[in-house]
Amino acid sequence: MKKPLAAGMALVWFLAGCATAEPWRPTVDSYGSSRAQYVHRDEHECRQLARNVSGNAPAQAARGAVVGGLVGAAGGAAIGAAMGNAGRGAAVG
């Protein structure tokens, strides 16, 4: 019981390290540029474009979890059926 708990905590700590309070901001050298006043606007437009192209990450993650669960259950059921107990195989899968 201690090993799965420790592995789960390690995973949580690893994922928490990926979350930051502020999004990453590039360093832009605008010294002597006549367009320095537009850097903030351009950065905002770039972030919006990236969000639009990448899609909705939480929805994609949820969809992936559901599909992964179904595939795991189906594979487990197939293996369980070959071994004589499809229900137990689906639960394990």
Predicted confidence at residue 59, as pLDDT, reads: 74
Tell me if 78 sits within 8 A of 89, measured CB to CB: yes
Under 8 Å CB-to-CB from 45, ≥6 apart: which residues?
Answer: none
Predicted confidence at residue 41, as pLDDT, reads: 92
Predicted confidence at residue 61, as pLDDT, reads: 75
Predicted confidence at residue 12, as pLDDT, reads: 62
pLDDT tens, the chain, 93 aa long:
566 677 766 666 666 555 555 677 788 888 888 888 998 899 899 888 887 877 666 777 778 888 888 888 887 777 877 777 777 766 665
Strands (DSSP E) contained in 22-89 are none
